[in-house]
Amino acid sequence: AQKITQTQPGMFVQEKEAVTLDCTYDTSDPSYGLFWYKQPSSGEMIFLIYQGSYDQQNATEGRYSLNFQKARKSANLVISASQLGDSAMYFCAMREGTSDYKLSFGAGTTVTVRA
Amino acid sequence: DAGVIQSPRHEVTEMGQEVTLRCKPISGHNSLFWYRQTMMRGLELLIYFNNNVPIDDSGMPEDRFSAKMPNASFSTLKIQPSEPRDSAVYFCASSPRWTGKETQYFGPGTRLLVL
């Protein structure tokens, strides 16, 4: 079974608008971490934001915020005030357990920001 | 601080040739990961080193692949002999001592094309 599911293969968003990227996960471990990475066309993987399963508040990093709904097992990324430079592929990933190092990645969502 | 450094950035080779990819992790990081990214399979973990010791190589596709980490600042991934199906982007990532929250920092990747 897929551990991370990203159902939106591609999205278009108008510049300055907000966009939400969906991510659902599957784990039976009560301790886990959720990560979002950005991969622009240049190819590098850029870490954006982290949410721990025991964190009481949703994570935020600048224009990035994570809408963490534990009961629904979803960890959606919200990008506010989209910029042209936000056009990229976005990956959701999960680490299970407190000591496990493995990251399970979703298939990714391509975001295209239109001027 | 310098990020993860990978070389070469691009490699084109012919089937049957040996390919060596190189990685310099972020100074002070004690975990190193090699990933492969393809359209068909997404991001796959190939091997994980902790304190220069290979901990998990279950993702290494077959005996043609080998990885070494002779010291804390250098790792290699070797493919011998290379095959066209090895064409992919290979990422090296490093992370600091694992306490549960740390993310993995990725290098720029090596785009490998095997003809």
Q: What is the per-residue pLDDT across B11-37, written as a single tens digit (0 to 9) for each?
A: 999 999 999 999 999 999 989 999 999
**What's the distance, CA B10 to chain centroid?**
14
The answer to whether the Cβ–Cβ distance between B48 and A107 falls below 8 Å is no
The answer to whether the Cβ–Cβ distance between B106 and A37 falls below 8 Å is yes
Q: What is the per-residue pLDDT across A21-31, written as a single tens digit (0 to 9) for each?
A: 999 999 999 98
Q: What percent of chain A has pLDDT over 70?
A: 97
Integer distance in angstroms from the first to the last C-alpha of chain B?
A: 36
pLDDT at B100: 61
Residues A93, A83: Cα–Cα separation, whole Å: 23
A112 in contact with chain B, both atoms CB, cutoff 8 A = no
